[in-house]
Structure 1
Amino acid sequence: MATGTEPDLKSTGGVRGPARASIAAPHLRTDRWWLPPAATAAGLLAFVVYSSWRAFSDADYYAAPYVSPFYSPCLAESCAPMKAGPNWELVGSWWPLSPALIILIFPLGFRLTCYYYRKAYYRGFWASPPACAVAEPHRTYSGETRFPLILQNLHRYFFYAAMLVAVVLSWDTILAFRDEHYDWGHMGLGTLVFLVNIVLIWAYTLSCHSCRHIVGGKLKHFSKHPVRYRMWQWVGRLNDRHMLLAWASLVSVAVADLYVYLVASGVFDDPRFF
């Protein structure tokens, strides 16, 4: 229970300040506590490097009928050949740079402000804290009340944008049931890659804490809202696996982009099942 006499970390120099208990050991843990944050940092860094390379490359993002999830919907002037397919032929071509540089803002913003990803990169990159029962090295702490971390409050709005992105990727998955001549009723290995990716994207998006609050929040009596209550329970079960879905969807969207890149660059032809 708070008594009003607790030391303020902002004024006492963090956990090593004079107002805190003096403990010489940096921690009392004997396990390899540093492995999870190190692995998290390595995984996130690998995705950042890969997605940055693909975003700035502005090439090999379309192999009929597949379009990379990093580049859809394609808004750049260079997207005209893709739209001739037709993929999103009603979307205007006005962006002069790589289309990924504007499209990735929304899903990356959603992930950066995600509650799980906050924990992941706070521990992995900022060591705040690096692990349970391990002191963080920072002398001051302001939480998410100052810039830039106060921008984490935009998470709900990025959730709305992520829903729109998921709809776009769903349409791209439907379009993947075509051949290179845009005839329907065909299926290739890329179709399966896109199917797995969109299922994981939707599962991760709907497992979001904001989605759970939107579905079941601000209700005084669940008994009076049985539909929303059932939806809240379903989203809650997904939310239990939010961390797993976050990583699985991160890998799947990178794999989908890589698959399109390999086919578009001529490394191999897309195997067609029928």
Structure 2
Amino acid sequence: MGLVYLEYDFTIEPAQPATDILIAELGEVGFESFVENETGLLAYILKSDWREDILNGLYILQQPDFEISWTQKEIQQQNWNAEWERNFHPIIVGNRCMVRAPFHQAVDVEYDIVIEPKMSFGTGHHETTHMMLQHILDIDVQRKSVLDMGCGTGVLAILAKKKGAGPVDAIDIDEWCYLNTQENIERNDCESIAAFQGDSSLLKGKKYDVILANINRNILLEDIPVYAECLNSGGILLLSGFYLEDLNAISSKCGEYGLKFEKNLEKNNWISAKYVN
């Protein structure tokens, strides 16, 4: 028997910015994957990680400007494929990179990435992943060592590898993400990417030219000192997973460790920022 998940079906009106805030808050309390739809949001959490009061205290659910209701049901892990096939559409980033599922037809682009996300985060549809892909397209990673921290599906590591980076490491604390990254690495003929399950404690003694971290504000603030220690002189740190109002705090923490803010992208109040060592 596979892992058992709970699916929360949220109806949200108006959709934004409530949906983005809800995704961020649900991620903080253990929800692993999200699918936006016409009425709101589907959110998934392992039944073993669920508790009865899990939604208590969520900021967005207390706001009178939004009407948010939900139902929940239990699903088996294998049911996920049918769910994301109904909701996952191919995307093109910068007219150069396509992220698609195995059942989508390929088109003529410079970088064709095939992702089967299952319960993992990172199809390119969320603003943060999309902006991180944009950043990677804009920088030179040829023959440079790259770390994809909090790799989810491994999509960022895969694009870096396809652009000529190497060696490339991909790390996620979640076992499902780690396994899914391994599958997507093989699916994209990027077997030289090394995937690991764990957190920033795995980075002791490691050095990289480029570090990619699309996680969330709290983990980024905690791990920026580790990233700074691991970044080679002249290296690049690309961060996402936080809002515009968090940018000052992120940049201030980076500045404490000698990392200089260079620029940021913004999409629907989400931010992806570039720092240099």
TM-score by length of 2: 0.24
> Is the radius of gyration larger for structure 1 or structure 2?
1
- The one of the two structures with greater contact order (alpha-carbon pairs below 8 A, sep at least 6) is 1
Greater fraction strand: 2
TM-score by length of 1: 0.25
